Structure 1
Amino acid sequence: PLHMTRATSLLLSNGVFNANAKKMFHKSNTDFRVIGVLGAQSVGKSTLLNLLAAAEQGEDYDYYEHLISEADACIFRTRQRTKDKGKSVLRPRTDTLQFFITRERYVLLDTPPLEQLNQHSLNTIFQLLSVCHVVIIALDGLNMEQLRLLHAALRLRPSQGLAGKNLPQLLFVRTRALSEHYQPAWRERLEQQLSLLFGEFVTGEINCLLLPQLRSNAECVHHCGLPQLVRELWDFILGLPRLSSSDLSELQWFELLAETMRKCQFSSQHFDSVFTEIKQQQLEPRQKRANWRAET
């Protein structure tokens, strides 16, 4: 597959699925992990993914300069292009589902901002809950409407069958954390609130991390330097056990996603229901072959 240098949209501006993205996916590799991010506008979703993607640059990479200050090396665009450099643009930087594949074969998915009581936002959540191994929920405060939307999507997902077994790990990241957010009492209160909302959907403790308000690469009293923060974020994500197993290759995963999104354009069914139905159809022939070999 081609090596990617920038994120690519999975949906084109006219709503058509980007079939050309297929050449980025490996035909036979099954050792890959899909990591998606959800959150409100300007909460730092793309910045989080840029930090993860840039971890391949090495120990001396200037994260702050290239991804935040000048933002000249962003894999996922964080600044809206405009002819007037002094003009403030309030439109979302990400308006369609975008992806980037790292050299280590991690598929990073960026999403449009979640909006309150919005069916499109609910569908976006369904998509990530169905296709990801890890879903990061970026928060710069306890946005209750956003959390209720996520809670509703989790409750609406099928609890039985293949869909019920295909659960991602949820990781809540409090972005732009200030010094008071590192106090044990505040951390404990945040984790208790998230546990009350999402405890029934997770196994064990709530996965929750803090990402500080970034002003440089340097460490401070409450947190380590930015390169170490990125390493710790990756270590945490890679340490999360997979809650579901899949024999799909990268290309099969992509084709499954493409077919599901196409069907959903002409169907009132939820994304996860269509995704599960097609996935089951793909897995059944393999299961029959495996059973036949076992019997003989």
Structure 2
Amino acid sequence: MNSLYDNTEKEINKSKKIIADSKRGFVTLTGLIGGLLLKDAPVSQEEKNQLRLPYWRAVLKTFSLEIVRKNNILFLLFVAVSINGIAWQVTFPYLLIYIEHFLGYDKGTLGLIMGGVLIITALSTIPLGILVDRIPRRTFILWMAFAAAVTALVFSFAREIPFLLLSGVLQTVAMAAFGIVSGAWLKDLYPTQQRGQFQGVRMVFWVLLPMVIGPAIGSFLIRSYGIPTLLNGEAGFISTPVIYYAAAAINLLALLPLLRIPKQIRLAEVDV
């Protein structure tokens, strides 16, 4: 069984490399350009005179009960973002293997499906951004969390290319919309004097926890419910729709912290 799992991990790493290589050049280029164009704001005398805690003490204080209670809405949103990200990471690392080995499509068809989904999703971000500004954020994000669950379930039943393309687009659009509205909302909720610090905290909930917990859940499900097979002459597992069932269920859990956020928040700049 260990050898089966090891070979599946190799296939997963190959799939990740395809995605990573396509992004690396673009990310590097935009990062270099952005770094050259950005300029730090001048530091005021008040900031220079401000007493600062040692680094690790400041980090630990950020997660203290006092800070969490004072910013309970912010941390409820952090939790929802993390759950949503975990659901996505349950399936995403194994997506290419699922389409190629479970659904049986060759790499050329796989590229067409993935390319179509990514292009349509990218084009949808502008109208999504407009909707975010027009619909109350709490309402919008609740619907997107629910849509993410439904579309993950729908994708698990997709077999033919048109259905795969449609369900894939709906799933990624729902996830993108969730990310857009949550990102905008989080920035409005950051404490005024600690915006940079809480941008770092956001990465814990947005990136670290989802990328550790999500793939671990997906890996466990594949080892437990995957189809034993031979991949490149070695024993391995093929992922099955069960990972999408799990993703749908996890996405529904994101509704719990969101429902605890009141409809009205005493912040003039936040329209909820």
Whether TM-score is above 0.5 comes out as no
Structure holding more strand per residue: 1
Scaled by the length of structure 2, the TM-score of the pair is: 0.27
Scaled by the length of structure 1, the TM-score of the pair is: 0.26
Q: Which of 1 and 2 has greater Rg?
A: 2
